[in-house]
């Protein structure tokens, strides 16, 4: 923090120095040629491939390339990168266990709100306005796998997973979106909770839901409110200082 005892001119010089450093440091990242892996041709800042030179990208956004598939690890899970959208700061990923030609294949691990914390590199939400607002746009909705002791009839909410998934003794269903506790029948329990950013209508079959998992889900890499990179804090201070200067000028005029 800059102490208030610094003269204004010193503060100004310090800010000019810091802001030019900010620009220079970020310009350096962009000097790396974009990396490419399979269908993902434009891997650039903040992303990097594991074997890129160290100066490229941000090490929290390491990706690896396995058999021409771009891989990202999130917590215990392994995911394939389907798209990186630099315009809206999102990355779309698919659980590595979900196979196109096999509707019995399901994600290995649950992934839901409770896995993500504010200090993690990826978020399930997109911030609408970067600095001014805490408004958050959800990028995905939940696919909830449920197993029940009895067959459920006349429940439009529950989609039967048979014949794709046939739990030996229990009956397996999925619900899309949110689940109210009151909607969870006594004989049922939640088995798995995953995400999708595909917005197929409500009246769908389990094969549709499997396709939604194959489309994957979007995450955002925009830094969250409390954890802005240092450079952005300086920029924010740059916008604060002129108002202070105006106040000082007004006082001396009075």
Ligand X SMILES: *[C@@H]1O[C@H](CO)[C@@H](O)[C@H](O)[C@H]1NC(C)=O
Q: Give me the least distance between CB of 3 and ligand X, in Å please.
A: 35
DSSP secondary structure of the chain: ---TTS-HHHHHHHHHHHHHHHHHHHHHHTTSPPEEETTEEEE-TT-EETTS-TTSS-GGGEEEEETTEEEEEETTEEEEEEEEETTTTEEEEEETT--TT-TT---SS---GGG--TTSS-BSEEESSTTT---EEE--EEEEEEEESS---S-TTPEE-TTT---SSSEEEEEES---GGGS-TTEEEEEEEEE-----SS--HHHHHHHHHH-EEEE-SPPGGG--HHHHHHHHHHHHHHHHHHHHHHHH-
Output 76 or 248, the one with its CB closest to ligand X. Answer: 76
211 belongs to the binding site for ligand X (CB under 6 A): no
Output 76 or 187, the one with its CB closest to ligand X. Answer: 76
Site for ligand X in 92-151 (CB under 6 A): 102, 104-105, 109-111, 114-115, 126, 139
Stretch binding ligand X (CB under 6 A), from 21-29, 38-46, 221-229, 232-240: 38-46
203 belongs to the binding site for ligand X (CB under 6 A): yes
- # residues contacting ligand X (CB under 6 A): 34
Output 47 or 234, the one with its CB closest to ligand X. Answer: 47
Question: How far, in Å, CA of 118 to CA of 220, rounded?
Answer: 12
Q: Give me the least distance between CB of 170 and ligand X, in Å please.
A: 16
Binding mask 39-78 for ligand X (x = CB under 6 A): ---x-xx----x--------xx-x----xx-----xxxx-
Output 179 or 238, the one with its CB closest to ligand X. Answer: 179
Burial (CB < 10 A; 0-12, 13-18, 19+), residue 88, is: exposed
Output 18 or 174, the one with its CB closest to ligand X. Answer: 174
Question: How far, in Å, CA of 191 to CA of 193, rounded?
Answer: 7
Q: Give me the least distance between CB of 243 and ligand X, in Å please.
A: 33
Q: Give me the least distance between CB of 186 and ligand X, in Å please.
A: 17
Binding mask 150-189 for ligand X (x = CB under 6 A): ---------------------------xx-x--x------
Sheet holding 69-74, edge to edge: 48-49, 62-66, 69-74, 77-85, 90-95, 217-220
Which residues is 155 bridged to in the sheet?
none
Output 135 or 183, the one with its CB closest to ligand X. Answer: 183
Site for ligand X in 82-101 (CB under 6 A): 85-86, 88, 90
Q: Which residues bind ligand X (CB under 6 A)?
A: 34, 42, 44-45, 50, 59-60, 62, 67-68, 74-77, 85-86, 88, 90, 102, 104-105, 109-111, 114-115, 126, 139, 177-178, 180, 183, 203, 218
């Amino acid at each position: 923090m800059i102490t208030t005892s610094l003269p204004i001119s010193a503060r100004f010089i310090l800010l000019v120095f810091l802001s030019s450093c900010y620009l220079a440091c970020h310009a350096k990242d962009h000097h790396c040629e974009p990396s490419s892996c399979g269908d993902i041709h434009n891997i650039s800042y903040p992303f990097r491939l594991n074997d890129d030179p160290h100066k490229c990208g941000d090490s929290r956004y390491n990706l690896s390339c396995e058999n021409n598939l771009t891989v990202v690890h999130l917590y215990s899970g392994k995911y394939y990168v389907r798209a990186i959208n630099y315009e809206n700061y999102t990355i779309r990923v698919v659980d590595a266990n979900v196979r196109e030609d096999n509707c019995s294949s399901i994600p290995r691990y649950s992934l839901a709100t409770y896995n993500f914390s504010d200090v993690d590199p990826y978020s399930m939400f997109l911030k609408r306005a970067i600095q001014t607002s805490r408004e958050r746009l959800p990028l995905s909705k939940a696919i909830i796998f449920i197993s029940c002791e009895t067959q459920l009839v006349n429940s439009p909410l529950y989609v039967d997973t048979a014949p794709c998934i046939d739990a030996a003794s229990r009956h397996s269903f999925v619900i899309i979106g949110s689940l109210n506790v009151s909607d969870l029948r006594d004989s049922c329990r939640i088995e798995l909770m995953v995400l999708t950013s595909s917005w197929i209508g409500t009246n769908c079959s389990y094969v549709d839901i499997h396709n939604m998992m194959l489309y994957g889900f979007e995450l955002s890499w925009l830094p969250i409110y409390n954890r802005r990179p240092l450079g952005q804090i300086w920029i924010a201070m740059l916008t604060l200082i002129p108002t202070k200067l105006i106040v000082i000028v007004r006082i001396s005029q009075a």
